[in-house]
Each structure stands twice: as structure tokens, then as C-alpha cells.
Structure 1
Amino acid sequence: MHFEKPSKEKPCTQLTVKKLLEQKRKRETSSVPPSCSHPGLVPSAFTLSAGEPSNCPGGSNVDSNMAVSSQMWPPAEELLFTYPSPQPGPSYSTSYNMPVTTEYGTPSHFQTLGIAQPQQYESLGTDPGSSWSVLVEMDSSQNSVLSFNTPMDLNKLQEARMFINGMNDSRTTEQDDDGDTILHIYTAKGLRECAYAAAEKLSLLGKLDAKEHKGKTALLVAVAANNPEIVHDLLLLGADINACDVNGQTALHLAAHYGYNVVLQALLLSPANLEARNFEGMTPLHCAALSHCVTMKAIYAGGLSDARLQTATEKLACVNMLLDAGASLLSQEIKSNKTVLHLAVKEGNIDLVRFLLRNPLTNMKAFVNMKAHGHTVLHMAAGLHANPHQKEIMQLLLSQGADPSIRNLENDQAAHLLQSGPVGEQLKVLLKRRNTSSRRRVLSLQDPE
């Protein structure tokens, strides 16, 4: 007998939310040459295990055990989840599948959001010894002019409210196998009106901050998806800005790490814990500095481009926003006691070093002489062998009161950590001259009148 083989035709499937968001991110980053294997992930060369030498050319050779681990940061594609529609019932993924008309994070997002073009100021100096100089977009009062003001479509909002209000409470608050609510799904897809309607309902039911399987609330999903307007909406409706995921990352940590300056501005409109620590012991300011270092490392290694310049500018804007909001330059991350200045110097990030040293502090000398596991920033600068910015960084630190006589836990001064050869000898003279000058100044102060 002849039996017909069953049809193996695959059923028609729709794009998942993960795929939609991946496509969105590819459109936003298509012009940016990748600096690592995963977009949004700190390159592996930036993560050092105990005793492992740095893979970064010109990076600090001082105490690799002090390196800040970045393994906790998932790739961008892992932040953008797949949201299957719970069954039975209406499909969360397909209902009100409104096109997302606003693309954030692109160079044209100022025009898209109806923002006046900011004036550009070269805030990092024009020293001919510097290979690169990143522009920070500021207005004349040195305040960020980023904003977001795209209105919602009221007709779509009304339709979304009718749909959401037509669902019973248990259906609205239902979480699928990944812990996602209808609000997580709409937020990840960037459907602002649907997300707003769902958030209104969940807020009334006390479920606005429901967490999915990785501990992310809808607010954290909105931040990871780079949707500043949905972030703003959720905060207005009462979302917890200090909620953290399974890695201890708050909304500020995520926005700072990915350099989403428009999202960060939306977050900073609400009271937030600027000194919150993730499970790596870092504040949002540490995350912003670390992320800027990664981008500048790609620029130093691969050359300057408009896309990289835009990314570096946005990440430095995040550092500036956090400082303006009250984040402390003196904060030390818990694992190795590094300040953001230690991070910048250790990675040879001359632009960030200049920027940080221009911030007013009542006691700048104490700041530049703070220790991280025994090392001052001058010790770290002395370990920047083969880095083209080593001399300039050391000169900047010395001009702000860095003390060459301070010894680390191994009883070494900065001069003991310099490279051998002519360059090292020149830098030793620089340190010796500074040390002698400081000693003379101290003696003159001690002389009786």
C-alpha cells in the first residue's frame, strides 16, 4: 500500500519581539564599526582575571587584579527579550501592532524629537599632544539641551485603553513563562500608547513594577530598549526608578552603561539614588565612565569616525549629566576602591581624564591622591607603557597636585613603575622635578618669618 507522507510545511510565524528589537538596534548601529563581538557588551580585553595581563595596547600594567570586571553586562541582544504571547487569550504580541515612528539613538534624533540643535563646545581642550578631542553638545550655560516632547496619538491611546479595560484583572496581570506581563511586551516593542494604557491598569492593580525572569521591571525594559518617552510615561505613572534586576542594575546603571543620554535625562527628572551600587559595586557614574573608556579605546585603536564620535559624545554627556545631578566624583567602587578617575587613567582615556579634572572640587589634591588598593592614579599613569597619552596624563595629574612621593602597598613610588628606556627616563625626570619642587614648597612654608 502507498501511504502519503504528512505535510512538513512550516506554519506561518510572526516576528518575535526579540527579532523586532534586534532589527531596530541594527538600524541604529549599522554605521558604527563594532568594537567587540557583541554590540553593547564591554570587550573581553577590558575584563581581566586575577594576575592576567591587559590585552589593551598601552593599558596600565599596574596590578591587573584591580581590573573592574564587566562580565555582568549581557550582550545587547540578551537585553531584548523574546515575548511569546500567553495562551489562551488575545495575542499580546500582535494586538495594536502600531509602527514605531521615533528612532532614538540615531544622529538625527534631535530633529526627530523636535529638539533645537545644540551648540557645540570643545570642552576637552585642544592640546596638540592629544590625538582625539570629543565634542560635548552643550548650550551656552553648559547644560544639556536634550529633551523629548513627541505627543502620543490620542486615538491610538483611546483604542488601547478600550482593549486593556476590556480584559479582566487576572488577564491583565498575567505573566508568561518568562515572567513578562503585557506591559513588558508593549514596552519592548516600543508601542507607547499601548504601554501607557497597560501601565495605567497595572498601576491601579499594584503590578506596575512586576519583574520578569531576569528581574527587569517594565521601566528597566524601556531603558534597555532605548525608549525615553516610555521611560518618562512609566515614571509619571509611579514606576520605581530604583528597582534593580538580578545583577543589581537600576535604570540609571543601564542608561549610563549603554550611553543612552536621552533616556538618562528622562530618568533624572525623577528623584533617584545616584550612589546605588550594582552587584559589581559600581555606581551609575562608574558605569558611564567605564562605557566611555570602551568607546574611546575603539577610537584610539581604529580611528575616528562620525558614528564613533557621536557615541563618545553621548556617553560623555551621560557622565556630565550624572555629575550635574549630584553624583559624587569621590565614590569608589567596592571591589577595588577605584574612582572614575582611576578608571579613566588606567585605560589611558585622556579625554575623560581632562574632563574629570576640570570639575570643581574643594580639595582636588586629595581627590587625585586617593588610593585604590594602594595605588594612586599617578601609579596607574606610570604603568601606561606604550600609551601615547602617558606623558600628558601624568602632567595633568601633577598639575592638580598628584604626589610622586606616595608609595603603594609594595612600597613603590610612581617612578619605580615606569618603563625602561629613554621615555621612562624622561618621565622620571618629570616626577623628580615635581617632587623636588613640592619639597621646597613645604620647607618654605615651615620657615619662620
Structure 2
Amino acid sequence: MTDLSSSWSIQAEVVPSQSSILSFGTPLDPNKLQEARMFIRGMDYSRTTEQDEDGDTMLHIYAAKGLRECAYAAAEELKPLGRLDAQEHKGKTALLVAVAANHPEIVHDLLSLGADINACDINGQTALHLAAHYGYSVVLQVRWHQTGMTPLHCAALSHCTVMKEIYTGRSDATKATDKLACVEMLLNAGASLLSQEIKSNKTVLHLAVKEGNIQLVRFLLRNPQANMKAHGHTALHMAAGLHGNSHQKEIMQLLLSHGADPSIRNLENVQAAHLLQRGPEGEQLKVMLKRRNTSSRRRVQDPQ
């Protein structure tokens, strides 16, 4: 298979290519897509499915070149085989190659076909890391457009995923550090902690609390912009629902120390205390909330 990369590069020119990178949101050209499908299905099966000496599939090649319809047709062939996220010699999937090459339309297509947004290369970099690193704002917007989440939300969820893997022994702290660096990078670039995910109005703080991610909660609360409120539940409501999580008490203490109000009721007219687990642990947390609530009322009644 030593000549597959060069042969795919030559074959790619046979299919009519785009004169320029398509703007975000442009639909696939149906004629070019049909031609690409016919071309790929006429190739030798091994060439359409296997990897060359560098680990590249034909999807990697087309993604790098920005040949959108060819990439889509290739992805259709590889997806049923479980090869959509095949990694080349540097650990990059075709999605990561498309991000690094700044081809947002191909990024959009691959995500719509089920490519893994959390896939990492050998340096632990995800699509979000690469897009943020290179400043490819349109690539970042693709993910936002698909899910209603800002890039900051995506980076936070990626960190939460790694933290879960660390707790189960399937990852190490280095990856968590890299993911947290991506969150910090986005914040430094102007991402707002006040922004809310479109579907549920959650902020990144809400996501971190809901996942029981104590490291991310600590990091976010260092910023005075951290938003405690969202449509319905506050972050404290979510912390109260972390039954059985070893960080529940610490997360609640952190939120309270940063101004969380236990008297606030959600849309069901329920306070955070009502969402606590039953038993001694829940009763201890309830006492903590009650003390905070009493202390807050005293400050209001007796202003200095």
C-alpha cells in the first residue's frame, strides 16, 4: 500500500473540484456528490477502505484538500465499517485534518455523519483545541450551529469527559490539563461565561456542576462573571441533585461562598434543599443551606 497516498491525490483531481472553499451553510452540490459517489464506488475496494503507510484513508486526503463532495462520499463508505474516525500516523482523524486545514463545510459534514468531536491526536488535541489554536472562528461556529452550544460549552464538556475517564482509570491528568487549557484559551480570546446553551439555557458553570466536575467548577468560579442562574434551575439546584457524588458538598460550599442563593426557587417552585438526597448526608447539607439562608437574611435586615 505504499503508493496509495499519491494515487489518491492524483485521483482526487479527476473529480471536478471546488474553485474555492464554500461559505458556511452552503449545501452539498448534488451533481458533484453523485459523480463523487460513482467515482469512489468504481475504485478498488481496498483503496476505498484501507490506510496507506502514513495511516491516511482516502477520506483524510480529500478532507485535507478541501474536496467536499469527495470527502462526503468517502465518509459514506467508511462509516458503515466503523472507520469514520480512523487515525493517521499523528493520531488525526479526518475531522481533525479538516479542522487543521480550515475547511468548515467538511467539518460540518463529518459531524453530521457522526464523526467524534472528542477524538484526540497524539498530542491530546481535539477539534476544538486545533480550531481555537489556529483562530478558525468559522470552524468553531460549526459546532455551535449543530448543537446550540458555544465553543466554550463544548470545551467544558470535553474536560468533563476526560475527568470521568480519570476517575475510572482510563485517562491521566495530562489530558485534563490540556482540556482545561482550551477552556482558558477560549476565555482569553473573549468567550463569555454568561453565554447560555440555546436548548436549555445552561452556562458552562451549570454544565460543570451537573457533571460533578470539581476541578472545572473551581476554575470557573475564579472569574467574577460566572453565572449562577439559568432558565429553571440554578447551579445550586444542580449541585443539590448530585446524589452520591463525592464532590457534592465541596461544590455546594464553593457555590455558596460565591454568592449562590439557597432561597431561589426553580420553575417548579422548588428550592435547592428540596432536591437533596434522603438520609444523614442530605440532612447535613440541608443544615448548611439553612445556615446560609439565615445568614443572608440577616445581612439584608441589618445592613452595615
TM-score higher than 0.5: yes
Two-structure CA RMSD over aligned residues (Å): 4.3
Q: Which has the higher contact order (CA 8 A, sep 6+)?
A: 1
The one-letter code matched in structure 1 to 2:279 is G
For the residue of structure 1 that corresponds to 2:187, the secondary structure is: helix
| Alignment partners' CA distance in 2, 1:210 and 1:282 | 29
For the residue of structure 2 that corresponds to 1:386, the secondary structure is: coil
| Alignment partners' CA distance in 2, 1:429 and 1:178 | 69
Alignment partner of 1:375 out of 211, 233, 256? 233
Q: Which runs of no fewer than 5 residues in structure 1 stay unpaired?
A: 1-93, 99-159
1:255-307, CA deviations, whole angstroms, 9 ceiling, x for partnerless residues? xx33555354442313314455243322333233223323323433x3x47x4
For residues 56-95 of structure 1, the aligned pairs below 5 Å read 94=1
Other-structure match for 1:422: 280
The one-letter code matched in structure 2 to 1:382 is A
The one-letter code matched in structure 2 to 1:418 is L
| Alignment partners' CA distance in 2, 1:178 and 1:376 | 54
The structure that is helix-richer by fraction is: 2
Q: Which runs of no fewer than 5 residues in structure 2 stay unpaired?
A: 18-34, 77-83
Alpha-carbon spacing, 1:277–1:168, altered in 2? closer, same or farther (3 Å): closer
Query: After alignment, is 207-216 or 269-278 more displaced?
Result: 207-216
Other-structure match for 2:154: 287
| Alignment partners' CA distance in 1, 2:245 and 2:301 | 35
Other-structure match for 2:28: none
| Alignment partners' CA distance in 1, 2:197 and 2:75 | 23
Answer yes or no: is 1:408 the counterpart of 2:273: no
Other-structure match for 1:13: none
Other-structure match for 2:257: 399
The one-letter code matched in structure 2 to 1:227 is K
Alpha-carbon spacing, 1:198–1:425, altered in 2? closer, same or farther (3 Å): closer
Alignment partner of 1:245 out of 103, 106, 109? 109
Alignment partner of 2:180 out of 306, 316, 321? 316
TM-score (norm 2): 0.67
Measure how far apart 1:427 and its partner are.
Answer: 1.3
Instruction: State whether residues 286 and 333 of structure 1, in contact with CA within 8 Å, keep that contact through their aligned partners in structure 2.
Output: yes
| Alignment partners' CA distance in 2, 1:344 and 1:334 | 17
| Alignment partners' CA distance in 2, 1:283 and 1:224 | 26
Measure how far apart 1:214 and its partner are.
Answer: 8.6
1:232-258, CA deviations, whole angstroms, 9 ceiling, x for partnerless residues? 7623xxx3478512755999x92xx33
Other-structure match for 1:271: 136
Other-structure match for 1:18: none
For the residue of structure 2 that corresponds to 1:212, the secondary structure is: helix
| Alignment partners' CA distance in 1, 2:179 and 2:282 | 33
1:145-168, CA deviations, whole angstroms, 9 ceiling, x for partnerless residues? xxxxxxxxxxxxxxx59x956x69
Other-structure match for 2:14: 170
1:29-88, CA deviations, whole angstroms, 9 ceiling, x for partnerless residues? xxxxxxxxxxxxxxxxxxxxxxxxxxxxxxxxxxxxxxxxxxxxxxxxxxxxxxxxxxxx
In the alignment of these two chains, the number of paired residues is: 265
Instruction: State whether residues 249 and 278 of structure 1, in contact with CA within 8 Å, keep that contact through their aligned partners in structure 2.
Output: no
| Alignment partners' CA distance in 1, 2:195 and 2:113 | 17
Alpha-carbon spacing, 1:197–1:178, altered in 2? closer, same or farther (3 Å): closer
